[in-house]
């Protein structure tokens, strides 16, 4: 790669992904948000149920399920990063900052991507060999 420093997992600077990858990225963000809300809801309901002796067992299950949802959040983020790693080489990993989901650029084609990376693009139907 033309002098670019290696970027680690979860680096928010590399957001150059295709439209299909952007949709999948959005799916991971939705799953992360669903895990957040589910965990919060289970903890709130569990807290209320914990006030009553007759519902303490159900409350305990709510806390356990909420904890599992909290554990899913980093698992979802890691799954997204590993998927992105398969799409690009390790130095081109997309960032994981859910706080800035609109910060990535959607490239129009693989050819645009190669041009930005100073990579030799193989001849295609619209490009004659040099």
Assigned token pair, 49: 């149920």
Residue closest to 95 by CA, chosen among 16, 40, 23, 42: 16
Count of structural domains, the chain: 1
Share of the chain above pLDDT 70, in %: 53
Q: What is the pTM of this model?
A: 0.53
Q: Is residue 74 part of a domain?
A: yes
* Predicted local confidence at residue 5, as pLDDT: 52
Question: Cα 3–83–18 angle (5° rounding)?
Answer: 65
Q: What is the mean pLDDT of the chain?
A: 73
The residue range of the domain holding 62 is 18-89+109-116
* Predicted local confidence at residue 17, as pLDDT: 66
* Predicted local confidence at residue 54, as pLDDT: 95
Q: Is residue 26 part of a domain?
A: yes
Please, which residues bridge with residue 105 across strands?
16
When comparing pLDDT for 21 and 42, which is higher?
Answer: 42
């Amino acid at each position: 790669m033309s002098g670019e420093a290696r970027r680690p997992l979860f680096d928010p600077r590399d957001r150059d992904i295709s439209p299909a990858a952007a949709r999948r990225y959005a799916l991971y963000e939705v799953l992360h948000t669903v895990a957040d809300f589910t965990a919060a809801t289970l903890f709130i309901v569990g807290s209320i149920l914990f006030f009553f002796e007759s519902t303490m067992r159900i409350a305990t299950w709510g806390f356990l399920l909420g904890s599992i949802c909290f554990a899913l959040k980093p698992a979802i983020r890691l799954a997204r990063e590993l998927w992105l790693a398969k799409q690009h080489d390790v130095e081109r990993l997309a960032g994981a900052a859910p706080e800035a989901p609109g910060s990535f650029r959607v490239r129009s084609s693989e050819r645009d991507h190669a041009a930005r990376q100073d990579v030799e693009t193989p001849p295609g139907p619209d490009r004659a060999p040099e």
